[in-house]
Amino acid sequence: MKIEHLGIAVKSLQEADDLFARLLGKENYKHESVEREGVITSFYNVGDSKIELLEASNPESPISKFIEKRGEGIHHIAFGVDNILDEIERLKGLGFVFISEEPKDGADNKRVVFLHPKCTNGVLVELCQEK
Ligand code: ZN
């Protein structure tokens, strides 16, 4: 596993893009909307990892709910894996609980699943595999 990216929930992608472009000294390499998840994302390369900024695209979006409850900030940590189905089986066998055990299409050409934060010290953990 490696840290593939950190997801950061933001209220305004435009404002956050301005800030992160200045902070990192480079522009994002893509914007991508994931309508099923109710998010618009912006990705930055940082060494071997990435930053994923997440803005809600509707009031029912998990990102809207996260920001209402906890404000802007780190939303999830994503571990890149070579075989997501094997990792799901391995972690299920160790008692980890998934929000959904079926990998879905995520942003940035990935198959993704999320572990329930109740079983990971309150941190939302994403597993992702390059498609
Ligand atoms: Zn992510």
Q: What is the pLDDT of residues 111-129, one digit of tens each?
A: 999 999 999 999 999 999 9
What is the percent of the chain where pLDDT is above 90?
A: 96
- Measured in Å, residue 94 CA sits from the centre of ligand 1 at 23
For 64-88, what is each residue's pLDDT tens digit? 999 999 999 999 999 999 999 999 9
- Measured in Å, residue 35 CA sits from the centre of ligand 1 at 14
- Measured in Å, residue 25 CA sits from the centre of ligand 1 at 22
Q: Identify the residue with better confidence: 36 or 86.
A: 86
Predicted pLDDT at 66: 96
- Measured in Å, residue 41 CA sits from the centre of ligand 1 at 9
- pLDDT category, 36, cuts 50, 70, 90? confident
- Measured in Å, residue 95 CA sits from the centre of ligand 1 at 23
Number of H helices, E strands in the chain: 3, 8
pLDDT, the chain, mean = 96
What type of residue sits at position 20? F
What type of residue sits at position 98? F
The rounded Cα 128 to chain-centroid distance in angstroms is: 9
pLDDT at 1 exceeding the cut of 90: no
Phi, psi (degrees; rounded to nearest 5) at 88: -60, -45
pTM recorded for the entire structure: 0.94
- Measured in Å, residue 101 CA sits from the centre of ligand 1 at 16
Ordered alpha helix ranges (H), the chain: 13-24, 62-70, 84-93
